[in-house]
A and B are shown apart, each in its own frame.
Chain A
Amino acid sequence: MTIEVSKKICMLGSFGVGKTSLVRRFVYNLFDEKYLSTIGVQVTQKKMPPVTLAKKSQAVAFKFILWDLAHIEKFNELIRNYFRGSNGALVVFDLSRSLSIQNPDVFLKPFKETNPDSKIIFIANKYDLVEAEGPVVEEFRQFAKSHQVPCFMTSAKSGDNVEKAFNKLAEMILEAE
């Protein structure tokens, strides 16, 4: 028997990094080149494949409630309501833009304060636009390492590693339960 459990996952990151595109690729397997900035939040659901953990007899199927959040310029209490009750977050960066202008501190610190037990993964999106394993990728790996967070190089355009990143997050949440 499989138990279905809903888990709230926030998509965080600067504007134009591809949060919405990653959700569209993951949920609907679609991609659109056109950039349409997100405002507020859009919630999408995706059922994850059931997994059975060795220590538990029952299989668990997560239903990810994906919160695709707009770029957060300034944190306030209404944004804390967006964060509340999250089990995890995918923090998305754009590999084709300088890391220095995608500072995650504005939202990452309050996110962790609101959800201290949540699991976090860094995603370096737009991998298709940079040199594979080039200096930009290395810089990002070091950046993720300094935050002690697992990272994935993804391309919402090609779909590379998108599912892997979400699956990894599911695995991290499951392991913590």
Chain B
Amino acid sequence: MLEVIEHILAEKKIVFALFSENQKLVQLSRHFKKVMPIEMDSVTTHLLDLFPEFVGNESEIAALYKGERKKYVLEKIGRPNQDGDISYYTFSLTSPKQISAREKNLLLVIQETSNETNLEQKIQQQRYEILLLQSSLTRAAHSSGVTIIGESIQIQHIRDFVTKIAKYHNSIVLLEGETGTGKNLVARMIHNNSTQANAPFVEVNCASIPDNLIESEIFGYEKGAFTNAVSPKKGLLEEADGGTLFLDEIAELPLALQAKFLSFLETKKFRRLGSTLERTVTTRIIAATNHDLQHAVERKEFRLDLFYRLNVLRLRLPPLRELSGDILRMADHFMNIYAYDFKKKIKSIAPEAQRKLLAYRWPGNIRELRNVIERAVIFANEDIIEAHDILLIDHDQQLPEEVIEPVVPPDDLSLHDMEKRLILQALSRTRGNQTRAARLLGLSLDTLRYRIKKYEIQY
């Protein structure tokens, strides 16, 4: 009968071994070595020699002998098998009193669990590989440009600011600076330096979304909230939950929406369009603007209370012309990046080219410098960027700083028409160069592009 039971148990990959009072092997079940291939000889018969997994558990083993403990289990014990793979087992040491009242024995029941454990390992392997890949991508992102170059006091100040405020995830940040000064980069640095670096970083340019869509973009909507809302959609606040929502050109946020946004900032709660359900997120808000928000408040274009709420941690990013000491460092940095991207062996910038870079006013700031260097790397013939590779807007032909004087039409005054005409004039003056036209109009490039699309301007 015992033989039959042992056979059935072995079929289920369960075997056992009996150990004496001094932990010496007394008996192995009939099919033991088929399930658990162990090396043993007449000398190696001690429990801890055969199963070193129990080393350190001497007090638990003693408790089993004394009957103070009924069972001691070790799960998912991996051991190399004859094929060189790993087999997995569950070891259960049981109280000897349950086996025999006369002798103090220990019964070790071993069950092979390789099938289940290998399946679990495969799932775990995939999950961990994905997490490791995500981690290496984050690291790559960290080391490929999400850092600010420079050693000037202003740049040091930016770095200090980022380091200090990054850990305060609940605090709102307001970044101010001319276009191209790196507001987006600083927002990413704050996110990457925070404890939420692995959570999403979502960015939106408030000027690039039509007024009638921006509320649904930020707050999301429920099915049926409006004509085309065929299914519910998360807003950007929810997409960035746990991470950061970067709202560029916050001054362009429609006045009507500013109250709702302020309410969210105060309570961290909001409702999707068409929903009565109040939702909560832990999204950090970083807002940026190239306008003077205080002036916008004075002009009644921006709510004073929202301005106060945003004005908690405020950082002004200096224009590149104030960072003359760092221009060449940044140029070198961009040169290395583009040389690598374009597989060119550019090693340095010639002194004359350096002088040219230092003499320029950089109205387009760091973005313009990056574009200039990108072009220079492409056109450089040797391993050095020469002065003639640096193409700048000629100082003499630089666009006039004056604002275009608007002309009121003789009849039927229409603000839209005026705006359209001003854009056309600016495009005409800049020969279709949208970046320069935007600068001339005091708009961001995204805003200008949006207006061009809105008014269906073809130039």
Contacts and interface: CB of A to CB of B under 8 A. Distances in A.
Interface of A: 6, 8, 15-16, 35-43, 45, 65, 70-71, 78, 81-82, 84-87, 96-98, 100-101
Interface string B130-145: 0110011011000000
29 contacts: A8-B56, A15-B128, A15-B132, A16-B128, A16-B131, A16-B132, A35-B129, A36-B125, A37-B124, A39-B78, A39-B88, A40-B76, A40-B78, A40-B117, A41-B77, A41-B78, A43-B52, A43-B77, A70-B76, A70-B124, A78-B73, A81-B72, A84-B57, A85-B56, A85-B59, A85-B60, A96-B136, A96-B139, A100-B195
A85 B55 contact: yes
A40 B77 CA distance: 6
A163 B32 CA distance: 37
B128 A37 contact: yes
Interface of B: 48, 52-53, 55-60, 72-79, 86, 88, 117, 120-121, 124-125, 128-129, 131-132, 135-136, 138-139, 195, 197-198
Given A35-B129, A65-B55, A41 B198 contact: no
A78 B75 contact: yes
Nearest to B194: A100
A132 B237 CA distance: 40
Contacts of A65: 52, 55-56
Contact of B197 (A38, A41, A87, A100): A100
A86 B121 contact: no
Contacts of B77: 40-43
A43 B139 CA distance: 33
A87 B195 CA distance: 33
A84 B77 CA distance: 15
Nearest to A6: B55
A175 B74 CA distance: 30
A45 B52 CA distance: 8
B79 A40 contact: no
Given A84-B56, A101-B135, 17 more contacts: A6-B52, A6-B55, A37-B128, A38-B78, A39-B78, A39-B124, A40-B76, A40-B117, A41-B76, A42-B77, A42-B78, A42-B79, A65-B55, A78-B74, A85-B55, A86-B56, A96-B139
Contacts of B138: 98
B57 A85 contact: yes
Contacts of A45: 52
Contacts of A85: 55-60
B238 to A, nearest CB: 23
Nearest to B76: A40
B416 to A, nearest CB: 50
Given A43-B77, A78-B73, A71 B57 contact: no
B74 A82 contact: yes
A43 B53 contact: yes
Contact of B88 (A40, A82, A86): A40
A149 B284 CA distance: 35
A39 B120 contact: yes
Contacts of A96: 136, 139
Contacts of B76: 39-41, 70
A73 to B, nearest CB: 10
B86 A42 contact: yes
A97 B139 contact: yes
Contact of B121 (A37, A41, A71, A101): A37
